[in-house]
Amino acid sequence: MSHPAGGLTMPTMTTLTTRGRATRTRIVEAAARLVHLNGVAATTVDQVLEEAGAGKSQFYHYFGTKDDLVEAVLEFQAAVSEGEQTRILEQHPGWDGIRVWLDAVVEGQRRADYAGGCPIGSMAAEMADRDPELRVRLGEAFERKRAALEHRLRELQDDGELDGAAEPEGLATFVIATLQGALLLTSTLKHDHALAQAVGETWRHLVSFRR
Amino acid sequence: MSHPAGGLTMPTMTTLTTRGRATRTRIVEAAARLVHLNGVAATTVDQVLEEAGAGKSQFYHYFGTKDDLVEAVLEFQAAVSEGEQTRILEQHPGWDGIRVWLDAVVEGQRRADYAGGCPIGSMAAEMADRDPELRVRLGEAFERKRAALEHRLRELQDDGELDGAAEPEGLATFVIATLQGALLLTSTLKHDHALAQAVGETWRHLVSFRR
């Protein structure tokens, strides 16, 4: 597990003033928007600073290189995505939590007009073979979402609501994979038909183990 | 359905001499390798020509712009991927064809050392929101693979080997989505545990409709 602001060689969130934190956050959020829509390679530091209304000296105060910024973007996107998953699973116990979370993923794509797909998945597709350090962080981000789902499935199994023959680890991997692929299809096809179908079949497979 | 060499504004395969075809193919294959590993934005025409051992004038003879080359790379990758799917489904009738095809996808990743993920999926993740024309082509490539699988599932249903309540269209979308996501996880995690788990659960869901 990595802390959302951990692992940076530059000043981290905890050592910054309130104003410094706001500036750093503004830069990261601007970068996150551009990276999500255009990809890492096609996003320049200059574009990010223009979008954020910040200057070069501010950038170099908070980030040593573009790589540092890209890592901060991943931490930001992972924190948003895991935060939503955690909130939903806490608010909705049992099978409901999984269903509400899946629906929220579909609804999120609709709200975003099918632009960009999964922010973490897109970064992984572009960067996994180009940046070994970022690749490890991307893998950790996927793994945390997978583990949260596995945890819920194990609870259901312990409570006798999931068949004892079901494999929570494999099922959780399967759900994350299906969502990632369905989000990719959706951002390519620009409608949520494929996402709704894939999530529908995924849910059908999960509840086939419901007891 | 688009022909593998269709849609180019430059000389197409059919109007080229044998030697011209060989040069063009060498450039496209070199570009396909680089784009698969590094992405579209990070691949330059100069890198491609160096990798292909070809010159600038040859490039501009066959391709007007980098965009034309990228489209040719997609056509090449789609032809390879669809060719393998078609060959397997023709050689293995019934349920076997689907199982052998899924196994071939897993095995292909192992052979590639988990590098690059699905060549078409990676291009889609990077380019879907950046190039509307390429996005449409990418969607068509996904759709052709999905349709081939749906066709097999409908045959099984007609033969009474797939439950009448199963939905071939949705199931085919679901399989393509799961594979895309599992390939993305695999190229991020650099082992095929996730792919094997996701494909295993996908197959389990499919055969739950076997009659």
**CA–CA separation, B30 and B53 (whole Å):** 9
- Do the chains contact at A37 and B185, CB–CB below 8 Å? no
Packing angle of the helix pair B168-189, A132-158 (nearest 10 deg): 130
Asked if the model's pLDDT at residue B53 lies above 90, the reply is yes
Residue given tokens 């991307």 in the structure block: A138
- Do the chains contact at A129 and B116, CB–CB below 8 Å? yes
* Share of residues in chain B with pLDDT > 90 (%): 82
Q: Which residues contact B169 (CB under 8 A, 6 or more apart)?
A: A197, B150
Can you tell me the mean pLDDT for A89-104? 98
Q: Which residues contact A92 (CB under 8 A, 6 or more apart)?
A: A99, A100, A101
**CA–CA separation, A192 and A183 (whole Å):** 9
Judge whether B203 is closer than 8 Å to chain A, CB to CB.
Answer: no
CB B71 within 8 A of CB B7: yes
The pLDDT of residue B2 is 41
Q: What is the DSSP letter of A12?
A: -
- Do the chains contact at B180 and A179, CB–CB below 8 Å? no
pLDDT digits (tens, 9 = 90+) for A61-81: 999 999 999 999 999 999 999
pLDDT digits (tens, 9 = 90+) for B145-161: 999 999 999 999 999 99
Asked if the model's pLDDT at residue B10 lies above 70, the reply is no
Q: Mutation test of the interface with chain B: which of A178, A205, A208, choosing the one with the most B Cβ atoms within 10 A? A: A178
The pLDDT of residue A4 is 44
pLDDT interval class at B12 (50, 70, 90): low
- Do the chains contact at A117 and B125, CB–CB below 8 Å? yes
Judge whether B7 is closer than 8 Å to chain A, CB to CB.
Answer: no
Asked if the model's pLDDT at residue B5 lies above 80, the reply is no
The pLDDT of residue B115 is 83
The pLDDT of residue A18 is 86
CB contacts of B183 in chain A (<8 Å) are 181
Asked if the model's pLDDT at residue B127 lies above 60, the reply is yes
The pLDDT of residue B6 is 43
Nearest of B193, B117, B75, B100 to residue B125 by alpha carbon: B117
Asked if the model's pLDDT at residue B98 lies above 90, the reply is yes
Q: Mean pLDDT over all residues of chain A? A: 92
pLDDT digits (tens, 9 = 90+) for A166-207: 999 999 999 999 999 999 999 999 888 999 999 999 999 999
The pLDDT of residue A112 is 86
pLDDT digits (tens, 9 = 90+) for A143-159: 999 999 999 999 999 99
Judge whether B188 is closer than 8 Å to chain A, CB to CB.
Answer: yes
Q: What is the three-class DSSP state of A130?
A: coil
A130 vs B4, higher pLDDT: A130
CB contacts of A128 in chain B (<8 Å) are 117, 184, 187-188
- Do the chains contact at A171 and B201, CB–CB below 8 Å? yes
Asked if the model's pLDDT at residue B120 lies above 70, the reply is yes
Q: Mean pLDDT over all residues of chain B? A: 92
CB contacts of A209 in chain B (<8 Å) are none
- Do the chains contact at A182 and B181, CB–CB below 8 Å? yes
Can you tell me the mean pLDDT for B82-109? 96
The pLDDT of residue B19 is 86
pLDDT digits (tens, 9 = 90+) for B22-47: 999 999 999 999 999 889 999 999 99
**CA–CA separation, A183 and A115 (whole Å):** 10
Instruction: Give the predicted TM-score (pTM) of the model.
Output: 0.91
The whole-angstrom distance between A153's CA and the closest CA on chain B is 15
Complex ipTM value? 0.90
* Share of residues in chain A with pLDDT > 90 (%): 82
For the ranges A135-139, B7-11, B201-205, the lowest mean pLDDT is seen at B7-11
The pLDDT of residue A6 is 43
Cα A154 to Cα A72, A164, A203, B53, B183, distances in angstroms: 32, 10, 17, 56, 25
pLDDT interval class at B194 (50, 70, 90): very high
Can you tell me the mean pLDDT for A123-136? 94
CB contacts of B180 in chain A (<8 Å) are 180-181, 184-185
> What ranges in B162-192 are assigned the alpha helix state H?
168-189
CB A166 within 8 A of CB A157: yes
DSSP for B101-151, written as a single string: HHHHHHHHHHHTTT-S--HHHHHHHHHTTT-HHHHHHHHHHHHHHHHHHHH
* Share of residues in chain A with pLDDT > 70 (%): 93
Judge whether B78 is closer than 8 Å to chain A, CB to CB.
Answer: no
Can you tell me the mean pLDDT for B52-75? 95
Chain A, window 26-65: residues with a beta carbon less than 8 angstroms from a chain B beta carbon = 37-39, 41-42
- Do the chains contact at B182 and A184, CB–CB below 8 Å? no
pLDDT interval class at B3 (50, 70, 90): very low
Which member of A130, A135, A170 has the closest CB to residue B200? A170
The pLDDT of residue A65 is 95
